[in-house]
Amino acid sequence: METKKLEHIAIIMDGNGRWAKSRGLPRIMGHHAGVKAVERTVRAAKELGIPCLSLYAFSTENWKRPRGEVLGLMGLFRYYLRSKLEELCKEEVRLRFAGDLSALPHDIAAILEETAEKTKAFTGTQLVTCVNYGGRREILEAVDKLIASGAEGPVTEDMLRAHLYLPDLPDPDLIIRTSGELRLSNFWLWQSAYSEYYFTDKYWPDFDKQDLLDAVGDYYERERRYGKA
């Protein structure tokens, strides 16, 4: 395989609900199965030596879902972080979060912050979970912070970027979306300007290491031009 930059893979994990429905199960069971796919994918990304994996777990629009589903998803975040933190620490995975954490239940926001703090010294794989994340909200928050800092225009890209949630994160080289939907749904709007996209019809709970390899293989076949001739 050609050695082309692949620092950051971002995944829009979609299709949990349809996966469950197709089995006659409640939607929340799809989210549970989705957690297993997260574990497989994190392992596979580590094996492939991908420096950064970001996962879209809950969007600023997902609050519009039925209350029971939202509560179930919050419960899953709690469970996952509490039960997996030790294991991820052992594997020296740096866990980070992007999103408006202030709107989350307090205990979850606290776990997320504590987890990020505990793992911040790890320099291997970074796992970024986007929770209550919206690209538009991120940009608006950055603009507000920029104004509050007293910065004067003309505003440069670097000035704005400095106020994004995780300014040091490389832009996603590859964005994968599962479940056959062909849209960004408010994910990494600023950062995706020159990302490559890969879509698969598979529902997220069925996503496995081979699917990641297929996406990565496809990425290496592409030519990234960034506007050049």
Q: Compute the residue count for the chain.
A: 229
* x-marked contacts with ligand IPE along 40-79 as a string, rule CB under 6 A: ----------------xxxx--x----------x------
Query: Which residue is closest to Mg ion by CB?
Result: 14
Count interface residues toward ligand IPE (CB under 6 A). Answer: 17
Window 6 to 25, contacts with Mg ion (CB under 5 A): 14
State yes or no: residue 219 binds ligand IPE (CB under 6 A): no
- Based on CB atoms, which residue is closest to ligand IPE, 33 or 50? 33
Picked from ligand IPE, Mg ion, none, the partner binding residue 119 (CB below 5 to 8 A depending on kind) is none
State yes or no: residue 18 binds ligand IPE (CB under 6 A): yes
Instruction: Out of 16, 62, 208, 214, pick the active-site residue.
Output: 62
State yes or no: residue 175 binds ligand IPE (CB under 6 A): no
Token representation of residue 37: 């796919």
State yes or no: residue 188 binds ligand IPE (CB under 6 A): no
CB 52 within 8 A of CB 9: yes
User: For this structure, is 14 an active site residue?
Assistant: yes
Of positions 75, 159, 185, 202, contacts ligand IPE by CB under 6 A: 185
Pick the closest to residue 58 from 43, 32, 77 (CA basis).
77
Report in angstroms how near the CB of residue 58 gets to Mg ion at its nearest: 11
Active site amino acids: 14, 62
Contact positions toward ligand IPE, by CB under 6 A?
Answer: 12-18, 56-59, 62, 73, 179, 181, 183, 185
Contact positions toward Mg ion, by CB under 5 A?
Answer: 14
